[in-house]
Amino acid sequence: MPVLSQDTHIFVVDLDYTAPMGRIESKLDAHRRFLDANYARGRFLASGPKEPRTGGVILALGTSRAEIETLLDSDPFRALDLARYTVTEFHPVKAAPALLG
């Protein structure tokens, strides 16, 4: 089954930590629960920390930037102002067959 439909777009979510690592670490379990819930809903394709560890990246699926921004509001890192988020939408014209079917 393809991951992308005609109405689905990919969003690159770039997180930059704005708080000390101690505060980031203290909320990491809550952030991971947020990630797990959205993987279960089919909203996230991949995620992980940057190297060096100054933030992270999430590949998200959605129908609009507003939808993704609203979704991200429930991430503890954003809700607690621990990270700054930049969302970039793109429309893939080429992708692995598993994504496009």
Binned at pLDDT 50, 70 and 90, residue 49 comes out as: very high
Is the predicted pLDDT of residue 82 greater than 80, yes or no? yes
Q: What is the dihedral of CA 9, 98, 36, 81, to 10 degrees?
A: -30
Tell me if 45 is assigned to some domain: yes
Report if residue 3 sits inside a domain: no
Residues 16-37 pLDDT 10s: 999 999 999 999 999 999 999 9
Specify if 58 maps to a domain.
yes
- 96, part of any domain: no
Question: Is residue 1 predicted with pLDDT exceeding 50?
Answer: no
Instruction: Note down the domain range covering 19.
Output: 9-91
Q: What is the pLDDT of residue 70?
A: 97
Phi-psi category of 66—alpha, beta or left, where left has phi over 0 and alpha has psi -120 to 50?
A: alpha
| 35 burial via Cβ count (<10 Å: 0-12, 13-18, 19+) | middle
Is residue 86 one of the residues assigned to a domain? yes
In the chain, the percentage of residues whose pLDDT exceeds 90 is 78
What is the 3-class SS of the chain, one letter each residue?
CCCCCCCCEEEEEEEEECCCHHHHHHCHHHHHHHHHHHHHCCCEEEEEECCCCCEEEEEEEECCHHHHHHHHCCCHHHHCCCEEEEEEEECCCCCCHHHHC
Residue 47's CATH number: 3.30.70.1060
